[in-house]
Amino acid sequence: MDLIAGITRQLDALAAQSLTRRRRTADSPAAPRQVVDGRPMLAFCSNDYLGLAAHPKVVAALREGAELYGAGSGASHLVSGHSRAHALLEERLAAFEAPHLVDARALYFCTGYMANLAVLTALGSDPEAMIFSEALNHASLIDGARLARAGVTVYPHGDVAALEAKLAASTAPTNIVVTDSVFSMDGILSPLPALLALCERYGAWLVVDDAHGFGVLGANGRGALEHFGLRSPNLVYVGTLGKAAGVGGAFIAAHASVVELMIQRARPYIYTTAAPPALAHALLASLDIIEGEEGRQRRTQLAQSIALLDSELQLRRWQRPRSHTAIQPILIGANDEALQVAAHLHAQGLWVPAIRPPTVAPGTARLRVTLCASHTEQDVAQLAAALNTLEQKLAPEQLERNAA
Ligand code: PMP
């Protein structure tokens, strides 16, 4: 019983800090209008930015993929699990990102988390190598750096000069700079052009995790590299396929030699069962949409919702980072207040998650609003009105009065 008591103490400590996380259970596809725990909700929390997760063409392709290839892959890629669907998807992704890379090749992974572990452990396998990790990087990059044999140094958020000083002082034979392109809890873009210029000057790799940019950023949805007009052999691009692409998995696109190294050396690629081929087949349908006119229209709708939320929100106390992406956080500060705001919204049928430490720094608990192409003007206006009202209703003096 001592073992259980130890766990209970840990859970109690989380609860005492308003840090207990709880899952809600969706009874319908990810979409703005969702049934959650049996109740209709207007959701502002999914990363299905283009509304493809329930798109009829994608769902039909998933069904077709299951007919063609069965439900599962049956083995890891290097044994017998690599299907024609995986191969076609990789060719398609390599061609999609080719304008930004040199001699591009792509590799499909089960998840973005695993792709990030793979890139950093394979590129950073030498104990003499050095990984330069941006302070606000996603947990999967942090864990990849921890798992790599290379040394790790963290540079301050967005601080290109600090990174340059570190690169200039480095004596490592291999230097790897790694950053999110869109910071997942702020929605802010990384200064990729300046980072790439440094990486080229110092002969370093630049690993870009474009989880929140792929499909959304750039005129053709190629992501952050297209948005900034970048092209370089130093780039290693990671795109996830469970967010804007609406299905699941992720890919690395880079110079063919980097991808070959992953296939030979990356343990998160080699030692896991290949993702169901039907997912890869469905992703080909997602790419058709992302690349085509419909994708362009959906990106335009998303941009309109982002602009509308910005103009409708009239907040004085709660801060907002200057985000121009689909991720629109509202900084509340205290964990319990963030939870309270989320609960009030929930009571009105609005689903916006409260994000607390350790996902964000202590004292910066926030609501993380994510917008998607299928939100209507009325949806966005309803959310903004609810937030404007709640900010006043939950002002400290008001809360004291409520507590009295
Ligand atoms: N990188 C970033 C920046 C992310 O936000 C996420 C997912 N939240 C991932 C990587 C992991 O991707 P996946 O969900 O496909 O594992």
pLDDT in tens, 187-198: 999 999 999 999
Q: What ipTM score was computed for the predicted complex, to two decimals? A: 0.99
Length of the chain in residues, anyone? 404
Instruction: Work out the pLDDT band at 399, boundaries 50, 70, 90.
Output: low
pLDDT over 90 at 401, yes or no: no
Beta strand 350-351 with 39-43: parallel, antiparallel or unpaired? Answer: parallel
Q: Where are the alpha helices (DSSP H) in 42-127?
A: 56-69, 84-97, 112-123
pLDDT in tens, 49-94: 999 999 999 999 999 999 999 999 999 999 999 999 999 999 999 9
Binding residues for pyridoxal 5'-phosphate: 112-113, 184, 212, 240
Strands (E), 44-183: 104-109, 130-134, 151-155, 175-180
Rounded Cα distance, 355 and 189, in Å: 19
SS3 string of 302-326? HHHHHHHHHHHCCCCCCECCCCCCC
Distance CA 84, CA 99 (A): 24
Q: What is the DSSP letter of 214?
A: T
Is there an atom of ligand 1 within 6 Å of 186 CB? no
Burial of 86 (0-12, 13-18, 19+ CB in 10 A): buried
Of 46, 48, 108, 140, the residue with max ligand 1 atoms within 8 A of its CB, to mutate for a pocket test, comes to 140
Q: How far apart are CA 206 and CA 192, in angstroms?
A: 9
Q: Which residues contact 37 (CB under 8 A, 6 or more apart)?
A: 24, 25, 27
Distance 293 CA to ligand 1 centre (A): 27
State the pLDDT at residue 231: 98
Report how far residue 352's alpha carbon sits from residue 368's, in angstroms, rounded to the nearest whole number.
Answer: 7
Q: Which residues are annotated as a binding site?
A: 21, 112-113, 138, 184, 212, 240, 359
Is any atom of ligand 1 closer than 6 Å to the C-beta of 379?
no
Ligand 1 atom 10, closest CA: 112
Can you give the pLDDT at residue 398? 66
> 211: CA distance to ligand 1 center in Å?
6
Say if CB 305 and CB 375 are below 8 A apart: yes
Confidence (pLDDT) at 396: 74
Whole-model pTM?
0.96
Closest CA to 312 of 231, 392, 386: 386
Cα separation, 270 vs 5, whole angstroms: 39
Mean pLDDT over each residue of the chain, to the nearest integer: 96
**Which residues carry a binding-site annotation for substrate?**
21, 138, 359
| Coil vs helix vs strand at 223 | coil
* Contacts within 8 Å (CB) and 24+ apart, 80-87: 81/273, 81/274, 82/274, 83/274, 83/277, 83/280, 84/277, 85/277, 85/278, 85/280, 85/281, 85/284, 86/274, 86/275, 86/277, 86/280
Q: Is 338 exposed, middle or buried (0-12, 13-18, 19+ CB in 10 A)?
A: buried
All domains of the chain in start order, with CATH:
25-49+295-403 (3.90.1150.10), 56-291 (3.40.640.10)
